[in-house]
Copies of this chain bind each other. A is one copy, B any other.
Amino acid sequence: MAGAPRSLAVLGGSPAFATELPVGQMYFPPWEAYEEAFRALFDREYYTNHGPMAREAEARLAEVLDVEHALCVTNATIGLMMAAKALDLRGRVITPAFTFVATAQALTWAGLEPVFCDVSRTTHQMTPDLVAPLLDDSITAIHPVNLWGGTCGPSALEALARAGGVHLYFDSAQAFGCRTEGRPVGSFGALEVFSFHATKILGTGEGACITTNDGDLAERLRNIRSSYDIRSRVAVPVTTNGRFSEAQAVLCLLSLDEYEGRRRHNISIRDVYRAGLADVPGIDWCEPSGVETSNEQYAVCEVHAEVFAISRNVLLQSLKAEGVNVRRYFYPGVHRVPPYTDGGEAPSLPNTDHLCDTVLQLPLGALVTPRDADRIVELINEIHAGAEAIAHRLRS
């Protein structure tokens, strides 16, 4: 039997990977560093309420992101909710539907109505051309998302927002560490919100930060976050608990030390995918757009069924059977999810709908090696070669 091709798992073979490979980042600091930091935390007996580690994390983040104010918060969803309230927005907000659902849900919590904007079929990002026709008197803000370790080209949107007299603030959940237009992402628009979820390159388990150069806005955000670290009593429409614990802060500081190493590891995996997938018919590898430097946080491709001979969903099913936990980001589009649709007609977002049907996220991060990526490329080729057998199997 030596040399006989292994049967694909979707056709009844055993999985290529015994342990499931995750899509996310899942980077952790070394145990020794973490233990030392936590021992110090125990000695201080100070675990929350804007403690010394939280303050240090904020100072380091402000420096790294070259911005006046970095406010660490519980998670990016809470951060986005706080941002909308700090800006005191009322009315409708232009935002993409090709994003994680929290982008829109945060608007809903803040009493705002999202107006969904399509994205570029090439870059997957919102563009000024797509936003401009949606601007009218009911619009209070533009709220773009910087996707895939790339950006939507913030300064062109800044010009559009200025001309339209509306607020602009960014969901940069995926963009920590990226550079564009000569500086780090973090100081565009009125504010930006980064995610430090475990699936991000700078992970704190759960966590996030809000960055701004506007001192008044920073004060309002501090006041909304909690009663700790308020420097002056500014009026805010509502407050919440958006505090960042010392445990989160320790993870943040250790992750900052490791950031560049993580990025290089991601590059080594992405290099394998890029080279390996270049010759696979119907698989288009996507590079981050609108950045000089990416955080290299995602491995994104599009699956074109008419050329690959297999749909994105069947490729997903076939890879999952092999223990490769690929994901559809984002599916369905937010414009097709309650409460944004009542099941009736969704707004026409042809590029968003197309991408929701074709985009696939491949594993990278701490738990993935370049060798794993190589094996995944092989599997994609094997699945392409087995298209007929798979189609037959799934029909029966």
**Proximity bits, A101-125, B CB within 8 Å = 1, else 0:** 1100100110100000000000000
> Nearest Cβ in chain B — how far from A247, in angstroms?
5
A26 at the binding interface (Cβ < 8 Å)? yes
> Nearest Cβ in chain B — how far from A219, in angstroms?
15
A49 at the binding interface (Cβ < 8 Å)? yes
A206 at the binding interface (Cβ < 8 Å)? yes
Q: How far is the CA of A235 from the CA of B341 in the complex (A)?
A: 12
A237 at the binding interface (Cβ < 8 Å)? yes
Q: Which of A339-354 contact B (CB under 8 A)?
A: 339
Q: How far is the CA of A237 from the CA of B340 in the complex (A)?
A: 10
A245 at the binding interface (Cβ < 8 Å)? yes
Q: Which of B74, B203, B366, B367 is close to A75, meaning CB atoms less than 8 Å apart?
A: B74
Assess the A245–B206 pair: CB atoms within 8 A.
yes
Chain A facing B: main interface SS = loop
A102 to chain B: closest residue by CB: B241
A362 at the binding interface (Cβ < 8 Å)? no
Q: How far is the CA of A237 from the CA of B108 in the complex (A)?
A: 9
Residues in B neighbouring A367, C-beta threshold 8 A? 45
Known: A76-B241, A241-B75. A247 touches B205 (CB 8 A): yes
Assess the B48–A239 pair: CB atoms within 8 A.
no
Assess the B206–A48 pair: CB atoms within 8 A.
yes
**Proximity bits, A10-40, B CB within 8 Å = 1, else 0:** 0000000000000000101001001100110
Assess the A31–B39 pair: CB atoms within 8 A.
yes
Assess the A45–B28 pair: CB atoms within 8 A.
yes
Q: How far is the CA of A15 from the CA of B203 in the complex (A)?
A: 43
Q: Which of B35, B74, B108, B111 is close to A206, meaning CB atoms less than 8 Å apart?
A: B74
Assess the A198–B81 pair: CB atoms within 8 A.
no
Assess the B240–A81 pair: CB atoms within 8 A.
yes
A140 at the binding interface (Cβ < 8 Å)? no
Residues in B neighbouring A239, C-beta threshold 8 A? 101-102, 105
> Nearest Cβ in chain B — how far from A130, in angstroms?
26
Pairs A–B under 8 Å by Cβ, sample size 11:
A26-B45, A28-B45, A34-B38, A45-B367, A74-B74, A81-B109, A109-B240, A205-B247, A206-B243, A235-B338, A247-B247
